[in-house]
């Protein structure tokens, strides 16, 4: 997938490129958010472009790209803007990830930087930009952007998020490849791990057999297992469930932990889902039971989430129920 920005004067093409690259820019353009910020409804073409551009910058910041140069005039300098957007197509995931799947050279560069085979003391982003522009006398990936990359190379920085982000893109590619090429044994191991979790959930349900919350607990347990069994989730979840911190390279452990963090923050049967959103559960809320049941089921299946369990224990409202649930593990 490539951006078509041959004519810097084509504002529509530039806007389309921004929307393709950046979810925040797309949201700005599609929902017309700029109307709420423009003074006196002066939502001119230039203002709309500026609003979308600043939204794109926010997406760069989210993945850990820190721009330490003055880019405020880019919208007025369309030729430089087009160069910047072309470079972003090798950084932001909407276009970079499809490139990773089809471009073995680009994929190899990212893999070698991640493993430490490329780069001599620079950050992941600096080494990556150097390879894209051929700044170390290597053959450039983007020969038409060599001069531009050279001009910003020293004034672009990154947070730790960027290294994890790039490594996760490679893992996502490898996981998808595994899904396509995985043998029967991989699927069998995954189903066995899900069965272990489900067996624990069923055991925990017995505690609530005479309780009014039994039907809710039963329903949520079913939702958890259906989520694990969904073919759409196989790539991501098989990576989580069939690995642990002892089976993956040391430099990728943080990325693995982040994947679990994201899982906990995005599912309603996890405490972090509510903690992140500043939602206080009432003492008699049925969701407390499911939150602890799920964590203890993961522990029973061989995962080390003791710190997460302890965090829930500290705020768990029903101490008697807490002791009953924990008693099933001993």
Under the phi-then-psi rule, with left for phi > 0, alpha for psi from -120 to 50, and beta for the rest, what region is 318? beta
Query: Among 94, 88, 93, which Cα is nearest to 71's?
Result: 88
CB 102 within 8 A of CB 138: no
What is the predicted pLDDT for the residue at 288? 92
The proportion of the chain whose per-residue pLDDT surpasses 90, expressed as a percent, equals 22
What average pLDDT does range 272-285 have in this prediction? 87
Q: For 144-155, what is each residue's pLDDT tens digit?
A: 999 999 999 888
Give tens-digit pLDDT for 15-48: 888 989 998 888 877 776 555 554 555 557 777 8
At 59, list the tokens: 């997406």
Please state whether beta strands 65-67 and 156-158 pair in parallel, antiparallel, or not at all (unpaired).
antiparallel
Concatenate the DSSP letters of all residues of 192-214 into one string: HHHHHHHHHHHHHHGGGTTSTTH
The residue-averaged pLDDT of 182-196 equals 83
pLDDT for residue 84: 93
- Sorted by sequence, the CB contacts under 8 Å of residue 113 that are 6+ apart come out as 119, 124, 127, 128, 131, 166
Task: Name the pLDDT band for 177 (thresholds 50, 70, 90).
Answer: low
| C-beta of residue 253 within 8 angstroms of C-beta of residue 245 | yes
Kindly give, in sequence order, each residue whose CB lies less than 8 Å from that of residue 301, ignoring residues fewer than 6 positions away.
193, 196, 197, 200
Mean per-residue pLDDT of the chain: 84
Indicate the DSSP class of residue 139. Answer: P
Orientation of helix 23-31 relative to helix 45-62, angle to 10°: 150
- Global confidence as pTM: 0.54
pLDDT at 150: 94
Looking at 182-286, list the stretches that DSSP marks H as alpha helix, in order from N- to C-terminal side.
184-205, 214-229, 234-241, 253-266, 271-276
Measure the N-to-C terminal CA separation of the chain; round to a whole number of Å.
54
Write the DSSP assignment of 149-182 as a string of letters: HHHHGGGEEE-HHHHHHHHHHHHHHHHHHHHHH-
């Amino acid at each position: 997938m490539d951006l078509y920005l041959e004519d810097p004067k084509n504002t529509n093409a530039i806007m389309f490129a921004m929307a393709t690259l950046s979810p925040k820019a797309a949201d700005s353009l599609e929902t017309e958010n700029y109307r709420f910020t423009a003074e006196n409804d002066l939502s001119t073409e230039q203002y709309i472009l500026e609003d979308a551009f600043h939204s794109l910058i926010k997406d760069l910041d989210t993945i850990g790209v820190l721009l330490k140069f003055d880019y405020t005039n880019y919208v007025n300098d369309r030729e430089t803007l087009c160069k910047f957007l072309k470079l972003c197509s090798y950084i932001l995931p909407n276009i970079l990830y499809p490139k990773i799947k089809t471009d073995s050279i680009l994929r190899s560069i990212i893999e070698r930087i991640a493993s430490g085979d490329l780069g001599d003391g620079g950050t992941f982003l600096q080494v990556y930009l150097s390879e894209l522009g051929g700044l170390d006398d290597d053959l450039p990936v983007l020969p038409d952007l060599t001069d531009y990359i050279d001009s910003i190379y020293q004034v672009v920085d990154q947070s730790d998020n960027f290294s994890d982000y790039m490594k996760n893109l490679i893992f996502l590619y490898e996981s998808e490849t595994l899904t396509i090429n995985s043998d029967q044994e991989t699927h069998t191991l995954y189903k066995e791990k899900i069965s272990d979790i489900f067996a624990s959930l069923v055991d925990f349900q017995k505690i609530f057999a005479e309780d009014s919350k039994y039907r809710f607990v039963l329903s949520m347990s079913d939702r958890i297992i259906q989520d694990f069994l969904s073919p759409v989730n196989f790539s991501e979840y098989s990576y989580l469930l069939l690995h642990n911190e002892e089976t993956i390279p040391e430099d990728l452990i943080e990325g693995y932990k982040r994947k679990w963090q994201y899982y906990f923050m995005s599912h309603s049967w996890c405490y972090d889902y509510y903690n992140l959103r500043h939602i206080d559960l009432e003492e008699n809320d049925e969701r407390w039971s499911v939150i602890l049941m799920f964590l203890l089921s993961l522990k029973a299946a061989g995962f080390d989430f003791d710190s997460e369990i302890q965090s829930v224990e500290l705020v768990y409202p029903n101490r008697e129920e807490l002791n009953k649930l924990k008693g099933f593990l001993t």
